[in-house]
A and B are shown apart, each in its own frame.
Chain A
Amino acid sequence: MAKYQVAKSIDVRGEVCPVPDVETKRALKGMKPGEILEVWIDYPMSKERIPESVKKMGHEVLEIEEVGASEWKIYIKVKG
């Protein structure tokens, strides 16, 4: 089941652009260093955008896991 010790999980499937990006950033802000955030998305553009923008913020992208037809979970480790 759970691959990582996820501290927080958000489900932004179906949300319009750029809500997934914004929600990811909001979630990361409230987290402690080393914690892992799980972001559940279903839009391919989010899969391309979110990892790049969180990397730019200094966080680590552990994995982009394909969990279904056009559905992915991004695991992000908070920097620190």
Chain B
Amino acid sequence: MSTDTTTAEAPPLTPIIKTAEDGSHYLAGCKCGACGKLFVGERKICAACCARDQMKPVRLAETGKLYAWSIVHRSFPGVKTPFIDVVVDLADGAHLKGTLEGVVPDNSALAYDMPVKIAWREAAPVNAGGKTYLTYVFVPA
């Protein structure tokens, strides 16, 4: 079960999800001041150029294009299938994995580079005893 409304209580499902002081959510990234690489999540050292103490926090873009996908029919116990597992190239150059909602899980409904955007959800993951977490999904833009 997932819902479009978010509450202050639901913890983030992944550490890259942040909540600003005004209650809005964003995805944390960082950019290397030495080589310019953009990373999903926070880090101190650049994995690409090895520079130390050059990382600056950024908010990741919330729109992007579909790079690759798979329709997952068999997953771990308790996970509802089918769902669409996607790799998205974000507009700022970052690359993010996620689930695509709002599209029929059929290859004919999917196309390379189709525009997508981030939406926020509260959902109960498997093995969480029904507790809900704040997560992101991709939806058609």
- Do A and B associate with each other? no
Which residues on B are within 8 Å of A, measured CB to CB? Answer: none
Show the binding face of A for B, using Cβ within 8 Å.
none
